[in-house]
Structure 1
């Protein structure tokens, strides 16, 4: 059976990328892909370590002439964000991705592609399996759970690592060398639900906000795209007719700008037409505001079954939480033009039987600003008699200006392309900060091929850019003596 990516170059990279695309690897579901990578390393006869958290380390000795060069880490993460369109029949716990190639781009039909960060895994595997490539000693590190909180990197035993240079392949723009990134945390606000019975003369209506582009909560936050959770909160606050609230939910990952949110309300039977009119008017407001960033926004209303609703007091708490929770860009850097300094994304709202969880991804390259955002969230949650906690806090990766590795990578890029790369910082979470905190004296840079609409079902990877990045990676390795 012919593989979809069989004719693409570099063949070895796309061979492995297609192989791992057949293996479910959502965050928290990495056992199968970790075991696959462990077997891969062992089958090559290389030193292979699988720790208790399922992180993988594979080492390959230096090739001839590079025995005295410093050890180089090729680093990425094995997990992916699992997002799909509502009408897509796909089970991320067992189904392979359906890859396709269009106009020089690779997509997964109806789902995220997982090029973030499967392409790093594929490149590392291609280097380990090819004995014709010149390189120093290679330490291939593939972590788990990067997308959901970086617990793999957090729990990694730094004493097992020996590399001097870290080449992180978790970036998404060719021609850029990343030298710094934001730190972050997951913030969780929980409100215990208070219910009451629905009166007999009321009917249920489901309100669905959809059609938004979404995106990466770090990389794309500056694009001012609509956040379906925040829009739902505004809608509930703007409705002027009397209604009861029965259920709310939206988004699936805190690090993805939510594209779809929904709620169920109960209204008097005689008020249904007026409610639909008000929602239509609100839709026009949102469409006007988002006409450039999210032209596909739609709000749909349908009948729904309702047995119980929130008390009026709890309904008020929910609306306040939606509307007052910090979201979006909070501050811009005064040192690096165009760089978001701090932000937050209300990515997930989960309505369980007993409580409602509001989950946000908070990012900042300045630790005190991250603390300020978290403190404001805590104050809001306390004022609403809820519970607040912070999870998966990780440090920023601070810029080590003029490092030897940066110099090597700049020279390699100029040698390969005849152009200077762009040195930049990133408002997204990379594992470099965590790894450097465990590896005394190590240096790191990050780069990668062009990817678009990451963390959305429209995620796609540029084939030619992947080939260029592969050539660049090999040039860097050859330049380290």
Structure 2
């Protein structure tokens, strides 16, 4: 089935057009140009700010000129993840989509529904001559997925709206009124390379088949982290005999739970004992993770010796440091039942050519708790002798249960769907916290269609939910209060 034939047709049409444009974070030149051309083709005021965010203004439909101006906001970039077996160039190719029952998926890659569905819905509103709406400002931000630099760089006073609808959440029965903040914790170090002892046999250890997912929205699900699994196996092997570590390549993007990791090592002393110990542990790990990771694969195969390795002391420091790094939920909220307050994602472990890099994304809805966990991670890395950098810090979004726009959304949701929406604060990082720092008086809310597996090649968006989301968005625009 052709994606553009799905309903609501305008949303799917623009989603397909958007997904034909490569749009990696920090390399959004083509999608910025695409959006500028789109706004100008409609004859609407269209411009980009100093960092590359695109703003398109559309006057109110007749009879709604006295309503408050609404900012419709989504981000242009998408997370790039693919299966190891998928041959795909995100910087050159458009996303290959297909229909699977009530879902739209991509072939072996992330889909870009996060946040492409929000972008497409805004485009459909801007292009429509039939949807009643108040004065609109469409804000398309850049680089949300790797630092939120678009939101951070937005100038105060540029926007005229007093209400912001962020279309970047992933459960269609939820209305979000708050989110976690985050900070990147990155450790780097070096090691003296040594030659692998003569006669040692080299192996490749491969962890794959994990679900992965969004390091905020999915962190509570008990999913496996390929970097932690890999480290656990290497550590166990090193305690049995001489394990000479050659290199590690694990995980990828900071906001994606690592699905795959590869390590290379050599054995000489007690070779069979080491392999047996690792294989026994593989069986135990599979049993532990069977409820959440039924497709987990861990393989050991012989590998052509590269000749160079990490010394024993440096190896032990690395494996102990990664073992000591907290991964997953750190604390649950004391204020909101069921909400993850603080977490860490051990996103990337890279050991190659005398260099070490370990990258984490720490999140919390409580600023002091975020920095406390970041301090703990820093201490673990510092004990191993690594240099630690804290970067990409962004604030959370403090919930306002008395928000006027929240009252509008709750009332219209009940009217349309005859049930009560779930009003929540999420553990993901939304741009609302940053945008609110530039526009402290703006009334903000976030909602969206059902999207599963975001930040992984299993990402999919529900067709029937997009219909629900589109109906809800149109009704909200109709009911915006007067200025």
Aligned position for 1:475: 475
What is the rounded CA distance, in whole Å, between the counterparts of 1:272 and 1:416 in structure 2? 66
- Whether 2:33 is the aligned partner of 1:35: answer yes
Q: Normalising by structure 1, what TM-score?
A: 0.97
What is the rounded CA distance, in whole Å, between the counterparts of 2:307 and 2:139 in structure 1? 51
Tell whether the 8 Å contact from 1:168 to 1:444 is kept in structure 2 after alignment: yes
Aligned position for 2:398: 398
What is the rounded CA distance, in whole Å, between the counterparts of 2:128 and 2:155 in structure 1? 28
Give the drift of 1:334. Answer: 2.0
Give the drift of 1:272. Answer: 4.5
Superposition pairs for residues 345-364 of structure 1, below 5 Å?
345-364=345-364
Aligned-residue RMSD, C-alpha? 1.2
What is the rounded CA distance, in whole Å, between the counterparts of 2:297 and 2:276 in structure 1? 14
Give the drift of 1:79. Answer: 0.7
Tell whether the 8 Å contact from 2:248 to 2:350 is kept in structure 1 after alignment: yes
Query: Aligned to 1:37, what secondary structure does the other structure show?
Result: helix
Moved more, 342-351 or 114-123: 342-351
Aligned position for 1:5: 3
Tell whether the 8 Å contact from 1:26 to 1:79 is kept in structure 2 after alignment: yes
What is the rounded CA distance, in whole Å, between the counterparts of 1:163 and 1:317 in structure 2? 53
Aligned position for 2:115: 117
- Whether 2:221 is the aligned partner of 1:219: answer no
**1:439-461 CA distance string (max 9 Å, x none):** 13101110000111111111110
Tell whether the 8 Å contact from 1:170 to 1:447 is kept in structure 2 after alignment: yes
- Whether 2:86 is the aligned partner of 1:88: answer yes
Aligned position for 2:314: 314
Give the drift of 1:355. Answer: 1.7
Query: Aligned to 2:216, what secondary structure does the other structure show?
Result: coil
Query: Aligned to 1:39, what secondary structure does the other structure show?
Result: helix
**1:20-76 CA distance string (max 9 Å, x none):** 111111212211011100111111111111123221111101111111111101111
What is the rounded CA distance, in whole Å, between the counterparts of 1:119 and 1:231 in structure 2? 34
Aligned position for 2:380: 380
Give the drift of 1:475. Answer: 0.2
Query: Aligned to 2:188, what secondary structure does the other structure show?
Result: strand
Give the drift of 1:352. Answer: 4.3
What is the rounded CA distance, in whole Å, between the counterparts of 2:437 and 2:359 in structure 1? 27
Aligned position for 1:445: 445
Superposition pairs for residues 156-235 of structure 1, below 5 Å?
156-235=154-233
Superposition pairs for residues 31-180 of structure 1, below 5 Å?
31-180=29-178
Query: Aligned to 2:360, what secondary structure does the other structure show?
Result: strand
Aligned position for 1:463: 463
**1:313-332 CA distance string (max 9 Å, x none):** 11011101210112110000
Tell whether the 8 Å contact from 1:183 to 1:429 is kept in structure 2 after alignment: yes
What is the rounded CA distance, in whole Å, between the counterparts of 1:353 and 1:62 in structure 2? 59
What is the rounded CA distance, in whole Å, between the counterparts of 1:290 and 1:477 in structure 2? 45
Runs of 5+ unmatched residues, structure 1: none
Tell whether the 8 Å contact from 2:193 to 2:353 is kept in structure 1 after alignment: no
Give the drift of 1:233. Answer: 1.1
What is the rounded CA distance, in whole Å, between the counterparts of 1:241 and 1:169 in structure 2? 54
Tell whether the 8 Å contact from 1:203 to 1:306 is kept in structure 2 after alignment: no
Query: Aligned to 2:109, what secondary structure does the other structure show?
Result: coil
What is the rounded CA distance, in whole Å, between the counterparts of 1:354 and 1:167 in structure 2? 48
Aligned position for 2:412: 412
What is the rounded CA distance, in whole Å, between the counterparts of 1:84 and 1:174 in structure 2? 26
Query: Aligned to 2:278, what secondary structure does the other structure show?
Result: helix
Give the drift of 1:437. Answer: 0.8
What is the rounded CA distance, in whole Å, between the counterparts of 2:285 and 2:129 in structure 1? 56
**1:220-246 CA distance string (max 9 Å, x none):** 000011100011111111112221111
Give the drift of 1:199. Answer: 1.2
Q: Normalising by structure 2, what TM-score?
A: 0.97
Give the drift of 1:203. Answer: 2.0
What is the rounded CA distance, in whole Å, between the counterparts of 1:233 and 1:213 in structure 2? 18
What is the rounded CA distance, in whole Å, between the counterparts of 2:42 and 2:289 in structure 1? 52
Give the drift of 1:4. Answer: 2.2
